[in-house]
A = this chain, B = another copy of it.
Amino acid sequence: MAVYTDVSFEDLETFLHAYDLGTAHVFKGIAEGVSNSNYYLQTDRGTFILTLYESRVEAEDLPFYLGLMEHLARAGIQCPTPVHARDGKTTRKLNDRQAAILSFLDGVSLRRPLPQHCTAAGVALAEIHAAGARFSVKRDNALGLKGWRNLVRDCAPDADTIAEKMRSAIEEELAFLETSWPAPLPSGIVHADLFPDNVLFVDNKISGIIDFYFACNDSLAYDLAVTLNAWCFEPDGAFNLTKARALIGGYETKRKLEKAERAAFPVLCRGAALRFLLTRLYDLINHNPAALVRPKDPREFVRRLRFHRTVRSPEAYGL
């Protein structure tokens, strides 16, 4: 849950003067995402999310994220879109943070998705990849292969305090990935964080995709590998091949993977597992108890990584 920056109703009222949204009827801090402060807002004109961007989101990246959401929505993706203020802008300062008002999407995220939901997630991911193809702004993946080296440098010294032999496991894995990472694959806009938290369902149909604050340009198959890590493992760490087939099957109804993508998939899965292992480890080591957010457990991704290291061919993922 995340409400780091306090916003009073009076702060909101002043902020709303810049918008054409009428009077606020409901305004509540909500437990949504972990990086930003989010408020549920209902006015005469509809329901919205007010987001205050905390330090993790770079202000200079906001035009990319907000522009991307508008672009994807125009292309038919159900995602939040920023409300333009009367001066046309989509961001402005609120309580010393950059802030935006976005449309609110109905739907609930699932904790224990079934194969049918994995299929739907796969379809949605491919639709995002297709819709993103015509977006002209670019953003490098700061949490891609090149970024992992820095994360390892920052986290490795404390890794063994979290789990035995984690440090050597991380360092060996990074060394492997740096030598084995595939040559450039088909790339474009990727969500890069399509966990079940970020997919909303109503009556088992996707009603919205949220949280584009890790979106960037990267290889599309890597995004599928992230999504597989997020959707296809059970709470006990077991890999669920039925869910993986459902996810990839859903994806391939919209976009067939190329031969090079299939061949690289096991390595991409290892990279995706390491990426979340490292950021969770970083967040746990640097956790501020006053931040009102429970850090997620990096060991979930140690278990996923352990599975991926046993994989000898793409068939293991149902490819």
Interface residues of A (CB under 8 A from B): 1, 3, 8-12, 23-32, 40, 42, 106-112, 202-203, 207, 289-290, 292-294
Contact = CB atoms under 8 A, between A and B. Distances in A.
Contacts of A31: 1, 3, 28-31
Nearest to A47: B26
Contact of A111 (B8, B30, B202): B8
Contact of A25 (B28, B30, B202, B292): B202
Contacts of A27: 108
Contact of A40 (B8, B28, B110, B292): B28
Given A9-B111, A10-B112, 15 more contacts: A1-B292, A8-B110, A10-B111, A11-B111, A23-B202, A24-B108, A25-B107, A26-B108, A28-B32, A29-B31, A30-B31, A30-B40, A42-B106, A289-B289, A292-B293
23 contacts: A1-B29, A1-B292, A3-B31, A8-B110, A8-B112, A9-B111, A10-B111, A10-B112, A11-B111, A12-B108, A23-B202, A24-B108, A25-B106, A25-B207, A26-B108, A27-B108, A28-B32, A28-B40, A30-B31, A30-B40, A290-B294, A292-B292, A292-B294
B106 A9 contact: no
Contacts of A292: 1, 292-294
Interface of A (DSSP majority class)? mixed
Contacts of A108: 9, 12, 24-27
Contact of A29 (B9, B30, B42, B112): B30
B107 A23 contact: no
> By CB atoms of chain B within 10 A, which of A25, A203, A289, A293 has the most?
A25
A107 B207 CA distance: 27
A9 B23 CA distance: 31
> By CB atoms of chain B within 10 A, which of A3, A106, A290, A292 has the most?
A292
A27 B290 CA distance: 25
Contacts of A11: 111
A203 B203 CA distance: 35
A237 to B, nearest CB: 18
A5 B11 CA distance: 30
Contacts of A109: 9
Nearest to A112: B10
Contacts of A25: 106-108, 202, 207
Contact of A1 (B1, B9, B23, B207): B1
A24 B110 CA distance: 12
A32 B28 CA distance: 8
A106 B40 CA distance: 12
Contacts of A110: 8-10
